[in-house]
Amino acid sequence: MKCTETALKDVFVFDPDVIGDHRGFFMETWRKEWFAEIFPEGEFVQDNQSKSSKGILRGLHYQIHHAQGKFIQALDGSIFDVAVDLRKSSPNYGKWAGEILSSENKRMLWVPPGFAHGFYVMSETAVISYKCTDYYHPEYEKSIIWNDSDIGIEWPLQDDEVILSAKDAAGGLFKDAETYD
């Protein structure tokens, strides 16, 4: 497994060693020792899956009081996955990193606690799986609007239309976000 830090400190891309032949492929998708080096105090407590159609954008989500670290992979299709640093004491506060995760490239992204997270579906459909370091607490979930100009995410939009949930369409501004630290 190759682990590379992104432009944001503490956000990592994992490129697995894929062993394949005419029958298919095999790869490890998680090993405790990998995370002991980059996130020694954490453990995963919940696994989630979601399926979305092309053009759907989910996020930018975060939880106050119960910050979640997330380890994300696309099981089918492709997404543009984004992390935004909400740690006030970080030199990267308010900055973002994005990666294309797909069933073809098999990349995975580690988004540590203290970050907002979101993704945009680039394929006809996408199924993603992600491990979380804390449980989902809907009463503490917050959302930042996906196109906040203070963050300036360069989403690789394929059409002019972005499909949002009502909750995500009502997301707040970054300048008003509750932060960590």
* Residue that has been written with the tokens 């432009």 in this structure: 7
Instruction: List active site positions.
Output: 61, 130
Strands 108-111 and 46-53: unpaired
Q: What is the DSSP code string of the chain? A: -EEEE-SSTT-EEEE---EEETTEEE-----HHHHHHH-TT----EEEEEEEETTBEEEEEEESSS---EEEEEEESEEEEEEEE-BTTSTTTT-EEEEEEETTT--EEEE-TTEEEEEEE-SSEEEEEEEESS---GGGEEEB-TT-TTT------SSS--B--HHHHT-B-GGG---B-
